[in-house]
Amino acid sequence: MKAWTWLKDHAVNIIAGLALFYMLAPIAVIAVFSFNDPVGRFNFEWVGFTLDAWKNPFGITELTDALITSIQLAAISSIGSTILGTLIAIALVRYNFFGRRAANFLIVIPLATPEVVIGASLLSMFLVYGAKLGFGTLVIAHIMFSISFVVIVVRSRLIGFDRSLEEAAADLGANAITTFRKITLPLLAPAVGAALMLSFALSIDDFVISNFNSGATVTFPLYIFGANQRGIPVEVNVIATMLFAVTVIAMAAVIIQQRRAEKMAEKRADDAGTTGMSMPI
Amino acid sequence: MESSLDLPPDEGDNGKTGHESGAEGSVRLEGVTKKFGSFAAVKDMDLEIANGEFFTMLGPSGCGKTTTLRMIAGFEQPTEGKVLIDDVDVAGQPAYKRPTNTVFQSYALFPHMNLEENVAFGLKRKKVGKSEIKKRVAYELERVGLSREAKRKPAQLSGGQQQRVALARALVNLPKVLLLDEPLGALDLKLRKGLQVQLKNIQRDVGITFVYVTHDQEEALTMSDRIAVMDEGRIEQCGGPEEVYERPATTFVAGFIGVSNLLPAVAASGSEIKIDGGPTVSTPEAADFSADERCFAVVRPEKLTVSAADEAPSDRPSVDGVVESSLYLGTSTQMVVRVADDVKMTVLIPNASEAERHQLPGGGSRVKLVWEPDHMHLTSESPEESASADTADVSPDNEKEGATA
């Protein structure tokens, strides 16, 4: 009876715990197996603890090259898609033009399209135009599928944007370009930053579309897929664990920053009550 | 521009020398119409605002007052007509080129900048020297009492403080005309009252032309040199606070400013009018109306006295009615008296003593409302306005005015 009551009281926590375990267990396995000392080519069975792979994670040249390629690709394509996507979002929210509603709808279509379709159709387009498959086509492909995400993130911020701030800037003598630089962009920065991180993550992770359009270029996901045939080296687990750690640290930094901003807002509420209402003249 | 001068407000830049020059800071609208689609927000408006004036545009929401302000600021361009600032036609000029600054209803402070940076924004755009910017910003923050908060972000301030930053940010540029769009609208009553006085003092101090938009008639009466009462894109009356309160030109003005009692009447021959169902009163104002023309007699609530219905008629004009309600307002008692089927009169009786108050006629009593002929003013019906919609009613706004009158 007592056990039943305890179970009832903690049901939510238990279920939440199980769900979290389900979500995080695969990542934990990756991290744990980065310390494995496998026998043979396959790293699927726990043999023994070693730091060998961590001592020289970048020892495999092809793996390191693939990682560098992926980081370069993600950097270029995320910056490209963030610039284009932000401008598109501004056009869609701020300006009334023929086909705006259609554009608003069409922009989300790539999100709903299966990646394999996008990959295949991009490939056929590149073939039609005789483009040489490689890093260039990968950049084009990655920018293409990231833009929709950027537009959606930036657009939602723009919709809640107080236009009188821009009017105030104009009122104080700022022309359109200065207003954009000094007011609009800084206020959009959180959304633009989020879009940048999102598109970076999408790019570094992409396999399906890249697989169609990479030519001889090997990205990190493509390397892992290829290596899978022969057996994935432990170093892959090490690098994957590092990527995961970097992500967690970046997210923690964002959350801490937000907490600080909230604390400051609370502080002002206290202060505002005490600093006088009077205005000496 | 870089030279050091004694007091920041005395320094000019780019030819803006503030209030010293007499010809500066006037605003003139000539035949201005503003249409949004087929809807005309402002209709063929003529308006003249003198240099150094505290000018208020007063009216209900949707009357076109904010649109007019935005056309002076340059956020909207008139569909037709001219906007002249200092006799220069600025129609077509964008906001950032105009010698005006605006205090927004929402304050529109830049949330990512601290107070200093907010106030310095306009001066930086005009490439004013660094040391001068520093001095003028410090002076302006001092004026609004926020020097200690200079490094804070707007979100760390209370509403009243934010409003003062918005004022400082506009004033620091020494605009020829300062435009204020319901700047006190978001503040509570007590704070608003204090800021009204301070705003008026600042205006007197700097001598800049203020164009003030509000829907609060009391605010308008307290602060303005002149008031334009607006309705449906038109100016119904333009004049000093006393003029619009004591001598409303139309039934709309009479109804919008203060609680007013409108008695339907008809002009008789010469200097007399005949109040419907009431006496014939002699007044010089009757000369403004032709014989048999319909008009309204306006008598303010504080100028009516209540006496018993059977009291002997005096030589003063009066109407008979039935007390509908009696409301204790603290400083006075507000009584609503029905004098005809669709005509109600509001009376404000000062509360002298409790005993006296208890002797006032209660609901349902028959009473006589008496006034001095001098205290009656004649007005004509507003275009597109029905008389019955304008009879005195106890709206919250009117109540407030009544309580403080």
Question: Which residues of A are less than 8 Å from B125 in CB distance?
Answer: 172-174, 178
Return the CA Rg of chain B: 25
Q: Under an 8 A CB cutoff, do B125 and A173 touch?
A: yes
DSSP A182: I
CB contact under 8 A, B112 and A178: no
pLDDT in tens, B284-310: 887 788 888 888 888 888 888 888 877
Whole-angstrom distance, CA of residue B326 vs CA of residue B334: 6
How confident is the model at residue B119, as a pLDDT? 95
pTM above 0.90, yes or no: no
Residue that is written with structure tokens 């301030």 in the block: B157
Contact between chains at A168 and B104 (C-beta distance less than 8 A): yes
The rounded distance, in Å, linking the Cα atoms of B396 and B174 is: 38
Q: What pLDDT band is residue B384 in, cutting at 50, 70 and 90?
A: low
Chain B nearest-CA distance from A265, in A, is 6
Q: How close B268 gets to chain A, by Cα (Å)?
A: 54
A160 touches chain B (CB under 8 A): no
Residues B196-242 have pLDDT tens digits of: 888 898 898 888 999 999 999 889 998 999 999 999 999 999 999 99
Cα separation, B189 vs B376, whole angstroms:
32
- Residue B205 parent element (H or E): helix B189-206
Q: What is the pLDDT of residue A96?
A: 86
Look at residue B326 in the predicted model and tell me its pLDDT.
87
Name every chain B residue with its beta carbon within 8 A of the beta carbon of A187.
Answer: 111-112
Where b means 16+ CB within 10 Å and e means fewer, A212-250 reads: bbbeebbbbbbbbeebeeeebbbbbbbbbbebeeeeeee
Residue of A nearest to B105 (CA): A164
Which residue of chain B has the CA closest to A189? B112
Chain B residue with CA closest to A176: the answer is B96
What is the pLDDT averaged over residues A40-63? Answer: 84
How far away is chain B from the Cα of A186, in angstroms, using its nearest Cα? Answer: 7
Mean pLDDT of A10-33: 93
pLDDT digits (tens, 9 = 90+) for B327-358: 888 888 889 999 888 888 899 888 877 777 77
* CB-CB neighbors (< 8 A) of B90 in chain A: none
Helix or strand holding residue B44 (H, E): strand B39-49
A60-70 mean pLDDT: 92
Whether A103 shows a pLDDT value over 70: the answer reads yes
- For an interface test with B, give the residue of A171, A192, A271 to mutate (most B CBs within 10 A): A171
Assess B265–A contact: CB distance below 8 Å, yes or no. no
CB contact under 8 A, B121 and A174: yes
Q: What is the pLDDT of residue B387?
A: 38
Residue B207, phi-psi category: left (phi > 0), alpha (psi -120 to 50), beta (remainder): left
Q: Using an 8 Å Cβ cutoff, are B233 and B64 in contact?
A: yes
Each domain of chain A, given as residue ranges in start order, spans 60-237
pLDDT band at A257; cut points 50, 70, 90: confident
Structure tokens at B190: 């007590």
At residue B4 the predicted structure's pLDDT band, cuts being 50, 70 and 90, is very low
Can you give the pLDDT at residue B19? 38
Which residue stretches of B144-185 are H helix?
159-171
Contact across the interface for A182 and B121, Cβ inside 8 Å: yes
Contact B322, B364 (CB under 8 A): yes
Chain A partners of B110 at a C-beta cutoff of 8 Å? 165, 168-169, 183
∠ at Cα B331 (B328, B333), nearest 5°? 35
Q: What is the ipTM of this complex?
A: 0.75
Question: Of all helices (H) and strands (E), which one includes residue A242?
Answer: helix A234-274
Q: Please, are residues A34 and A238 in contact by the beta-carbon 8 Å criterion?
A: yes
- Give the pLDDT confidence score for residue B313 in this predicted structure: 67
pLDDT for B10 equals: 40
Would you call B136 an interface residue with chain A, using a CB distance cutoff of 8 Å? no
pLDDT tens track for B108-155: 999 999 999 999 999 999 999 999 999 999 999 998 889 999 999 998
Q: pLDDT digit string (tens) for A145-202?
A: 999 999 999 999 998 888 899 999 999 999 999 999 999 999 998 899 989 999 999 9
Average pLDDT over residues B156-177: 92
DSSP 8-class letter at B387: S
Domain A60-237's class? mainly alpha
Tell me the backbone φ, ψ of residue A163, rounded to 5 degrees. -65, -25
Residue A83 has what pLDDT?
A: 96
Nearest CA to CA, how far is A153 from chain B (Å)? 20
The average pLDDT across B361-374 equals: 85
User: What average pLDDT does range B5-24 have in this prediction?
Assistant: 42
The CA dihedral of B145, B148, B154, B160, to the nearest 10 degrees, is -30
